[in-house]
A and B are shown apart, each in its own frame.
Chain A
């Protein structure tokens, strides 16, 4: 049966879809109906009345709220009749009765729907002479967002977003009638990971974000569309700048990826780009200190160190770690430099905190596949913390009853309230958990109802990947046809791995490299935007490795803990300072834009690779970024469609094919010992705000990191200490660290959870990356 419906819009025939809202049908026909409350990614509420039109379904024209009414056969929609015009004027006059006329000092002035529509549809003057309503303003409703209640027109966009999209209804209409206003509960701020979106969708200047307040006027901003590289979801953004300074990101509505939403970490971490702590020029070690050097001096020194290492112990004594921070072009140039010019096979983009690269060789699902699957199995970390916008997509799928979510995690997560089945497992028992799950008749029936997508990632850094891989294998064997969405976390790690930042034949991965370095077998360690001291879970091994590597070359934007130990630091340009492409976790290649001049004399990683290759006597043959993009399309398996022209032509980017070059994961046996009843099994995972460079160097975000603490189930906490907030000693056989103890009922009994890379005591000291699991003794001190 056809779902086409014939209507006329302002007398012009138009074919609408059955069930389509009048406001959407009119937009398709080229008639923009003014609106404030309607947002295409949220449910209609008909609050603002700005979208009133006249619709005639045969009984004469009737005033209709076009965001609430659906099209009907032969409906005559009139968006411009004298009645409509008068109603629009009336609505605007009423809205402006209480709205302050402070546009000259309002951040929204110039891009304000109320301002624009008052101009285009308003009566021109007001009859209102009384006092407007007054509120204290602006009030902070969270660490990042300020609310001006006088400007608010009560459109319900921010509150609807908080409730429907983010699932954090911490702001709500309060009071009634003329005193209605938006409020948080006293002392419970709007601490949503997605609060910045409310600022973007606010149709007036009522909500403003701390990093952008009073920084620019919209007409002074220039913008380029780009991709957020904070995590591997790859949300589309526009980068807006003024006077060569990045001032704001706005989410772009990309149908297959982010639907216009961003997480706050992604939205506000641009502040790091203009941080005063950036490395602004190459540095070369002179004795104990790093001294500024010219590019030719630093590159020559780096080439000399590589040459020396090669002469001393062969190319196998050189290792290149990193590449996940940059663009595909950066990674490809560095991969070629490492594999072809230097000749080493010890290359890896992951920092021991992901899953084996073989995950990328499995049948891959897209984000859309997952959000439309009958069942999604999460064998992954807390995606709300690590891949926030993927969380929004899957949460929406579960809330709209399209998808049932089965979650297997070592602790309860942000997704647990939306999961159909939640299975908490003790680290190391994933396989048993999967077996138990598959034995459940309800689950088996659910898995058989339709497409199944497995979101696979590293849920616990204090545990080897073997059991997770085994559990994933078991799941894929039991559910033929299931596809996998790899929950790799780091910005462009998928792109880096695919274009070649992975070990060659016989090469070492990161763990192997660091072990070799600690054993004194690495002559030269090259860190391409990687910081093993902060990111490698086993802190002790990372420390010994950086001490044991004879020479270290770091390519970085900041002088990270690891870069500070380098002999040569090559100053790299950051996000928004370089163009290129990015591959997200589903293999989608999108463009990255250069919006501002690189800080200092910094260069893009690919330029550094090309220059270094020249110093080493080889020419990679690249003059521009497009050269490399084209070369990737020509040479990298699965990237044939990702040509510069194709990527530029589509804002949503190009989906790459599953590469045949990456072997699917092998079966690895893990031996897990029995847990001593007195010990706790350690779970270490990331939360959204940590000490990552982009967060720590963004003033608005830096203080949001929650701090290091050991979280125990309340009943377990009672076993260990009488008081929450007490200091406890957490020990393994070889190390012990003192943490604050916190009661947390999302933690399973018998396990202890510590967030990774937080200010305070370093949990990495307890992790042994060669152990299958980490059991710890916790004692009161």
Chain B
């Protein structure tokens, strides 16, 4: 076995893949949220629709998005493989008469991650697939005709059941992020009393603020528009 495949298939290497893909997805969430916040603008969807057009036509962003799909799949598949290996290690057995000292999120990353994966698949079908191949009305701004994604989103967020599912998914992401953020640095080998308290504090803030930012949008559209 070459040194590279030996590294990647070792328990330490597998976690490094989880860490690096996880950090990429953490950064992606911030970029995605900044884009989504344009849904709150009171301009009939113009800024959001122009942004959607830009994001789907710029070649550099297109390339990055293929990387994103790959990293989501890699993170999910690798995570489930580690989960199955860890179960086989026999650690999942519960002891009687006491409760474990680890956090609930830490012990249930695979379950939380699976919920997020289902959410992502639905999310891709509902917005990404519809935008690219579905029947979407057009909107024209200053003579430029674009597909009206804003209307698709607004319509989806009128559905109370979907908004509830969306908000619950954001809570799941919050827990996943809360463990994952600091965990990513630990797996990279970065744990030191100089900076680990800061990483943990930033991770906690990030895991609350980002999902909260996402959850505010459907709630705002449902109740205010």
| Chain A partners chain B | no
Which residues from chain B sit less than 8 Å from chain A, CB to CB?
none
